[in-house]
Amino acid sequence: MVIPEITVDELLLLQAAGDVRLVDVREDNEWVDSHIESAVHVALGTVPDRLDAFGDDGATEPTYVICKVGGRSYRACEFAAAQGKNVVNVAGGMMAWWAGGHDAVSGR
């Protein structure tokens, strides 16, 4: 299964154009340290129980999935896509986000 990917710069453009569903699959401590304000937190281990966070089955608008560098988010995308979710991996993850100097927040 091939999972589509976008860069953080492409994600920023989409966010500027309107609402974007973004799921962060990093662990709790990573999320608390720093995350994108509009993201929803769904730790990777809880993805099977939280598929509702990835939108409706067959939805035309994708859910963008991010982690620290892109590996965990890709695995989450593979699982969600196999369950009928329209998902896109954010390549480079939060490391690329921070490297670009983009805003993040801390706390829950």
Which residues have a Cβ under 8 Å from the Cβ of 13 and sit 6 or more positions away? Answer: none
| Cβ pair 85, 42 in contact under 8 A | no
Known active-site residue 77: no
- Distance separating alpha carbons of residues 60 and 37, to the nearest angstrom: 23
Identify the active-site residue in 67, 81, 91, 96.
67
| Nearest residue to 69 via CA among 47, 50, 44 | 44
Report, as residue numbers or ranges, the catalytic residues: 67
